[in-house]
Amino acid sequence: MTGPTGSEPRSPAVQVAWADAREALRERGLRWTPQRRLILEVLAETSGHITGAELVERCRARDGATIGSTVYRTLDVLEELGYVRHSHGSDGREEYHVLPLAEHAHVRCLGCGAAWDLSWEDARELAERLEARNGFKVALGHVMIGGYCPGCEPAAP
Amino acid sequence: MTGPTGSEPRSPAVQVAWADAREALRERGLRWTPQRRLILEVLAETSGHITGAELVERCRARDGATIGSTVYRTLDVLEELGYVRHSHGSDGREEYHVLPLAEHAHVRCLGCGAAWDLSWEDARELAERLEARNGFKVALGHVMIGGYCPGCEPAAP
DNA sequence: GTTGTTCTTGCGAGACATTGCAATAACAAG
DNA sequence: CTTGTTATTGCAATGTCTCGCAAGAACAAC
Q: What is the DSSP string of B116-156?
A: EEPPHHHHHHHHHHHHHHH--EEEEEEEEEEEE-TT--PPP
- Report domain extents, chain A: 12-98, 106-147
Instruction: Give per-residue pLDDT as tens, A83-133.
Output: 898 888 777 788 888 865 566 788 888 777 777 778 777 777 788 788 877
CATH 1.10.10.10 fits B12-98, yes or no: yes
pLDDT band at A13 (very low <50, low <70, confident <90, very high): very low
Residue percentage of chain A with pLDDT more than 70: 83
pLDDT of residue B100: 59
- Count the neighbouring beta carbons within 10 Å of the beta carbon of residue B38: 20
Asked whether residue A30 carries a pLDDT value surpassing 90, the answer given is: yes
* CB proximity A81–strand C (7 Å threshold): no
A70 CA – D16 C1', rounded, Å: 14
Q: Which residues 100-119 of chain B have a CB under 7 Å from nucleic chain D?
A: none
**DSSP letter at A10?**
P
In whole angstroms, give the CA distance from residue B154 to residue A77: 17
Cβ neighbors of A148 (< 8 A, separation 6 or more) are A109, A110, A111, A154, B136, B137, B139
pLDDT of residue A16: 52
Nucleotides of D under 7 A from a protein CB: 7-13, 15-20, 25-28
Asked if A146 lies within 8 A of B150 by C-beta distance, the reply is no
> A146 vs B5, which has greater pLDDT?
A146
pLDDT of residue A145: 86
In order along its 157 residues, chain B shows pLDDT tens digits of 544 444 444 444 455 567 788 999 999 999 999 999 999 999 988 877 899 999 999 999 999 999 999 999 999 999 998 889 888 877 778 888 886 556 678 888 877 777 777 877 777 778 878 887 778 888 877 788 888 887 777 654 3
